[in-house]
Structure 1
Amino acid sequence: MNRPNRNDSLSVQTLEQAVPHDHLCLIYETPQEQLAAAISFIRIGLERGERCIYILDENVPETVTGAMRREGIDVDAAIQSGALILSNKEESYLKKGYFDPDEMIAFLEEAIRDAEKAGFSALRATGEMTWALGGEAGTERLIEYEAKLNRFFPKNNLVGICQYNRKRFRPELLIDVIRTHPKVISGGLVCQNLHYVPPAESSGESGPSQQVERLLADIVDREKREIALRESNAALASKSLLLERETAEHRRADEQLDLYRRIVASANDAIGIIDPTGIYLQQNESHRRLIGYSDEALQGKTPAIHLGGEVFGRIAEGLAKNGSYRGEHVSRTRSGEEVDIELSAFTMRNAAGEIVCHVGIKRDVTRRKEAEKALRLSEERYERAAVAGQVGVWDWDIATNALYLSPNLKALLGYADRELANDLDAWCRLVHPDDKERVIAATRAHLQNVTPVYEVELRRRHRDGSYRWFLTRGTALRRADGTPYRLTGSDTDITERKRSEAALQRAHMELAIKMEQLQRQLGISHLLHQLSGRFTLGEGGDLFLSEVVKRVAELTKATRCGISLVDPDQKMIRPHTFYGFDEKTIQGIELPVVVDETDPVYRLLYRGETLMLHPILSDPGMERYRPLVKRLGVESILAIPLQVRGVPLGALYICDKERQTPFTLEDTQLMQTIANQIALAIANQQYAENLEKINQELQRKKIEAEEASRLKSHFLSNVSHELRTPLNAIFGYTHLLMNEAYGAVGEEQKTPLDGIRRNATDLSRLINDVLDLAKIEAGKMSIHLSEVDLGALIEEAIVGIRPLSEKKGLPIRAIVAPDLPSIESDPGKIKQILVNLLSNAVKFTSEGEITLHARRQTARHGVELVVQDTGIGIRSEDLPRIFEAFDQIDGGDTREFGGVGLGLTIVKELLHFLAGEIRVESEYGKGSVFTVLLPIRSQPEKGFLRDS
C-alpha cells in the first residue's frame, strides 16, 4: 500500500475525480468524518446532473439534510425534482431483516433504470453501514456483496461509495472489505489499495477455506512464474554482456545486446548487476524505483548500501560457495523506507569459467508478506474463534460421499480425531431421531437451490450419551449448470444458548402467567372498587349489573353469567341480569321456590350454601330442573347466594356449556366476594326504595299535621275568645258583688264568691297555658330581649305568689348573691318560668318552706335560679316524664293538687328557646329542687320570633 497523503483536501480531490463505474470505500470513526466525505460526494453528483441516493442507517434524515444545507445544497428542490432520494436500510439492504447481497444489487439495478428513464446522466449512491456488530444474519455476506459490486460497477452507469463505521465492524471484516475496493478514504487519508482483488479474481468460490486455498495457489503459481522470469531475465542479461564483449564490432550483436538491455530495463522485476568485487555495474528502472538510488548514486557502491553489510556478506558468501543465492530480506530505500524483497542472485561466468558479474533479481514482496501475515493472523483468529466459539468445520463431497470432519468438530462431541471416522453414515447416525426429517428437508432444499444458505438447528449425540445442540451452516459449490458437487460448512455448539433460550422461554411463560394473574387481580380490584363505590344500585343500576356479570364471566373464563332475584313475597325466582344467554331463551323463566331441604336451589337461597355442579345433573335434587337445564344448554354451574343478614335476595351464577374441568376454589372466592357486594347494593337499593316510600308517607303526614296544627290554632283562638268573653263577665260581676256594688254581702255569701273568683282565675291561667303551648309548638311565641334585673324580677314573682303561700302558711325566702349580674333575656318569660316553678312548689308543699336561690354560674358563663321546696317530692320512676305535656304524676295527686300538667312543659320549652336549661333533683316525701341555668346573653332558638 502506498504511503497515504495526510492532506485533507486529497479526499475531496478523490471524490471530485470519481466518475461512473468507480467503487470507493469510506472508513470513518466520527459523524463529522462521515458527513464531510458523504455530503461532498452527494454535492458533486448533484452539480453533475446525476441522481443521488443516500441510504440512512445511524443518522436521522434531519441530520443528513442539515449537513447538506450547510454544504450549500438546496435539499427541498433536489428532492422535489427527483435528483435526491433519501432511503433507509429497511428499504434497501435489509429488506428481509438481514443483509442479502442479491437484494441490494436488485435495488441498485432498479434505481439505475429509474435514473436513466428520468434523464439523469448517472446514478450516484452511498449508504451508511453501522449495523453489523457481529453475529447478525447476513453479516458474513458483506464480502460477497463487495465482490459482486466490483463486477457490477464496470457494467453499469453507477458511481458509489460504501460507508463503514470502524467502531461497529470487526477489524478482520474491515480488512476484507478494504481489499475489495481500489481506493479507500479514511478521514483525510486517501489510500490506493495495492491489495485490491479485481472482479475476475474475486469471483468463484466464496467459502473461507476456498479463499485460503485460492490465495495459496495464487502465491505458488506466481512464484513459479517469477522464478522462471527471473532466470530468463538473468540468462538474457548474461548473454547480453557476453555478446557485447565478444561481438562488439558486429552490428547484429549490438542490436541483440541492445534488445537484451531493453528487456532488462523494462522488466517488472528489479535487476541489479554487480562486478566480481561487488560494485554495482548496472540497474534497470524497476531496481531504481525499488531502492530509490539513481545510477550516479550507486557508482562505486555495493548492495550493502540498501541491504546492510551483514546481509550483503551472507549473499556474497552464498554466491562464492554455490554460484547462486535465494532469500528474503528487508531493503532500505534512499528515503529510509523499509521494503520486503525476495532476492534471487546468480553468478555469470565466461567460457573460461571466469566470473564476469553477479546478477541479482529483486521483487517487492511487501504485499505478499502483508497478505501472508494477514493470512496467518486470520488463520490464528479463526482457529482461536473456532475453539473459543465452539465451532467445527465439515466438508462433504457429494459425488463420492467423502466427508471431512475437523478435529475441533469431533472434540465438540467428546471424540479424539481418530476415535470418530470421517464417515457420512456414522455422522448421520449421531443426529437426534426427532431432527432427522428436518435436517434432510433443509439439505434437500439447499441442494435444489431453494434456499441460498444451508442452515438448520439440530441435536447430535455426544460421546457420553447426551445430546448437544448445534447450528449447522453451509454453502453448496455448484458447477456452471447449477449442479452441486460439494457442501461445505461449519457446526457451532449452541447448547448453552438453547438452555438459555429454554430458561428464557420458561421465564417468559412464568411472566405471562404472572401478568395474566396480575391482570386478573387488577380486573378483580377494579370490579370490586366499582362495586364498593355502589352503596346502592341507584340510577343506571341495571346497566351497571350488566357490566358486572360480563366482567365476572371474563375473569372466571365462563361463557355465561347471570343474577336471579327472589320476589319480595319469597315465592318466585326470576332472571334479572344475564350475559352470554340468548335473550329469547331466558325470557319468561320463572322458578317457584320449593321448600325442600333436598332441593339444591332451596339450600342455595335459604341455607346460604354454594352450588357447584359439574355436570349440573350430577345432583339428584336437580332432576326437577332438567327441562330448564336443557333449555339453557349448560353443563356446569357455580352459584353463590345473595343474602344480607340471612335474608335471601337471589343468586349470582356462572355457567358453561363445554367445560373440561370444574370451577376452582379461586373462582368460588371471587364469586363470593362479588356476591357480597352485589347483595349489599341490592339490599341498600331496596332499603332506599322503602325509605323513599316512608319519606313520602312522612311528608304526607307532615302536611296533614301542619294542617291539623293550623286548625288547632284556629280552634284555640276561637275557643279562647269564646271562653274569655264569659270569663271576663264572671270576673267583673264577682268583683262588683264582693265590693258590695249591688248591696251588702253577708259572710256566708263571701265564701262562694271567693270560690267563684279563684276558679275563674285558675281557668284563665289554664287557658293562657294552653295558648302558650300552642304558640310554642307553632313557632309563634315572640321573644323580647332586654337587660334583666334578676333581683327585681324575683321580687315581682314572689309578690305574685305570696297570697297563695300565705293561705297555706308557707314562707317564701329569696337568697340573691351579691355578685349576681344582670343578663340579656326576655324578662316576661323569665318571670313566667319563676311563677310556674314557685306555684308548683306552693301547690305540692304542705309544711316547711320554699327557697329561691339566685347566683352566678362562672363555669357555664351564666346564672342559676334554684327553687327548693319541702313538699311531697317525686318518685324516681316519674322523674323522666315530669316535663311531658298533660302528663301527671298520678291520678290521686292530680285530683288533690289540681292542674293539667302543662306548667313544667312550658317552663322547659321557654328555657329551650332562651338557650337555657333545667334539671330536677327530688327524693319522694322530702321535697324537690328545680335548677334553672340562664346564659348571660340569650340567643333565642329557631322557632321564636325575636323582638329587640
Structure 2
Amino acid sequence: MQEKLISKRAYSPVSIFKGKSISRDLTVSLMVMILLVVATTLSWQYMRNSQEMLHEVEGKADEYITRLSDILSVPIWNFDTRTIDQIGTVFAQYDLVNEVRILDPLGKVLFSTVKRDDPDARVFRERDVMYEGEIIGHATVVLSLAEYKRDLGRLVTTNLLALGGVLTVILVATGILLRIYLRRPLEVLLEGVNQVAKGDFGFDFSVIQNAELGMIAENFSVMAKEVAAREKQLVEINRQLQGQIRERERAEAALRLSEERYSLVVTATNDGIWDWDLNTDEVYFSPRWKAIIGYQDSEIPNDLDEWQGRMHPADLDRVLRAHEDYLAGVTEQFEVEYRLRHKDGEYRWVLGRGICVRDDSGDPYRMAGAHTDITQRKLAERELWETKNTLDNILNSMPSIIVSVDKDARITQWNKTAEEATGILAAEAYSRPFTEVLPGYKMLLSHIKESIATGTNISMEKEPVTEGERTRYFDIIIYPVVTRGEFSAVVRLDDVTDRFRIEEMMVQTEKMLSVGGLAAGMAHEINNPLGGILQGAQNIRRRVSLDFPANHKAAEEAGCSMESVRTYLENRGIIRFLDGIHESGRRAANIVSNMLEFSRRSEARRTSVNLGELVDKTIELAANDYDLKKKYDFRHIDIVRNYDPALPQVLCSPQEIEQVLLNLLKNAAQAMPERGEREDPPQIIVSTSYDRGRARIDVADNGPGMDEETRKRVFEPFFTTKAVGEGTGLGLSVSYFIITTNHDGQFTVDAEVGRGTTFTILLPLEGK
C-alpha cells in the first residue's frame, strides 16, 4: 500500500511541469501569438476609429458653419443685432463649439464669444454670409478636439480591457485543454506505474500516444529494475514535490483571491478601489482612492477608521444606513453620494458604489467597490440650480404671464403669474397642451408655430381675449428660442385692460374738452333766438287769454268776441300748438343749460361730506321722483347699500355728486324693463369703499347691460339708446364732466350684455 502511494506521488501530473515542458511552451507560444494578433487588430481598429471620429468632428464643423451662415443672412441684412446675438449664443452652446465670431463685410465684429482658452480648439471653419448673391458678412466657428481626445482615451481603455479579456479567456481555455490532453494520458501512465510498482511489468505502454509521455513509458521497463535502489531517493523527491504542491496551492488561492477582487472592482467601477473583509474588518484602499482626497499611497494606512473618520458628519449616518440596508438585502445595490475631507481641509464629493460576496447561507463576508470623484459635477449642479432658481425668481416676480412651449406646443415653463391667473400650478401645467391650460388663447397656437418655424418675434397689442363672458385686453409677444438644436417658444402675456380703459377715458376726456368748447359757443348762440321764441310764444298765449281786458276790447273792435276767438283757436288746435312750442322751448332751454354746465368748471362751493349719507339722500330723492315712481316703479327695485364705515370724509360739491348719482339711478331704473323675463328680481347695488388713496363709489345693476360699442360711446354728448323724446344724451356726458373736470376724479363703466352694468366713480379724499 505504501509502495502504491509512493508510486502515485512520484508520477503525479505536477512533475510534468518541472523544467522545460512542451505543454507550457505551447501555452506561452499560443498566448504570445494571439496577443500579437489581437494587439494588431485592436491597434488597426483604434486607428480607424480615431480617423472616423476626427472626420465626424470636421463634418460637424462644416455643418455648423453652413447652418450658421445660412441662418445669419436675413438678420445681418436687416441689421438685427438682437437676433444675431441670439443665434451666436445658441451656436456657442453646442458641445464641440469653442468659439463663434460674426463679422460684417468691413470686418466689424457683430458677435464674438470664446468659451475658454482651449489649446485643443484647432478645427477652424470660416464662411462668407451671402444674401441674394452678395457677401454681407463673415462667420467663423472653431471646434475643440478635447472631446475627440477624451473619446480616444476611452477607446484605448476599452481596447486594453478587451485585450485583457481575450488573454483571460485564452488562459482559461488553455487550462481546460491541458486537462483534456495531458491529464488523461497521465492517468494511463500512472496506472502503468502502479502495475510496475506491484512487480507487474506486462503493462502495454504503447497505448500512450503522447510523444513526451510515450518516451517515459518506453523507458519504464528499464526504470523498473532501478525502482528498489532509488526508493529512498524517490521518497525524498516525493517530499519535495509535496512542498511544491502546497506552495502551488497557496499561489492558486492567492490567485483566486486576486481574480475575485479584480472581478468585483470591474463590476463596480474603475475609479478609486476599496476592498473590505467584513469578518476581520481588514480594508484595502487603492492609490487612486487616496489620491481623490489628496494623499499619496503611503500617507494613509489601510484602516476602516480612515474612511469613517474623514466622512462629513452630516453624511455619516446616511451612508452607514445605506451600507447596512444593502448588506441586509433591503436594497439591491449600494450606491450613495457623500463628502470626504480632503488633505487641504475642504470636502470632496464622491460617489460610492460597491457589491458584496455572500457565502452559501447568504451571509456577506466580503465587499468591494469604488469611489468616483463627483465634486465638479456637484459644483456644476449647484451652480445650475442657483441659476435656475434665479431665473425662476425673475420670471415669478414679473407681473406678466410667462409661458414657454416646445415645438409640439406643450408647456415647459409656467411662472407664478400664470398660476395666479389660471389657478393651475406649474407642476400640473408641465407637458400639457397649450390650448388645454389656456383655452382662451387658442388663437395664439398658429402664431406660436409660425414663430418657431420662422425664428421671428411676433407681437400683438391690445388683443381682446374672452374669459367666460368678460373681455380683457392683452399685449402679447412670442419669442422663438433654440436650445441645443431644439426649437421652442416663449409667450409673454401682459394684461393691459386697465391701461386700455384709461386710454379710452383719455380719448373720452379729449372729446369732452373739445365738445365743451363747442357747447359753450353753441349755447350762447342758441340762447338769443330761443329766448325770442319762448317770449313770443308766451306773449301769444297772453294775447288770446280771457283773463286780460285788453284782449276783449281788441276782439270787439274787430267785430267778434274774445270767447269766439278762444273757441276757434282751441278747435283748430292752435292753443295746443302754443303749448308744444312752449314745451319744446323749455326742453331746448334745459339742453342749453346742460351744455353751459358741461362747458365750464363748476364754481359750486365744496364741503366735506360723508358719502354714505350723501348716497342715502340721493336714493331717497330717486324714490320720490314722480317719473321713476310712476313710470318705472322705482320702489319695487331692490336697493342694496354696502358702505365702508371707515371711509374718510370727501371734499366735493354735494349737489353735483347728487346729480351724478341720481342720473345713474334713473338710468338703471329706466333700463330694468329691458331685462325681459328673468327669475332674479331687479336690483341696484350702491357701494362705497377706499381704493388706493381715493374714495370709490360703485353703482351696479342687474339690468340688460350693454355691448362693447355702446360702452365705449356711453359718455359721448348726445349719445343715447332711449326712444326719441325720452332723453337728451347729455346726462352721462355732464356727469362725466362733473367727476373728471370739476372734481379731478375718474368715471368708468364696466358692462356685459345680459349681466348688468357697473359705473365706478373715484374721488380724491379730503386733503389728498
With the length of structure 1 as denominator, give the TM-score of the two structures: 0.24
Greater Rg, structure 1 or structure 2? 1
With the length of structure 2 as denominator, give the TM-score of the two structures: 0.29
* Greater helix content: 2
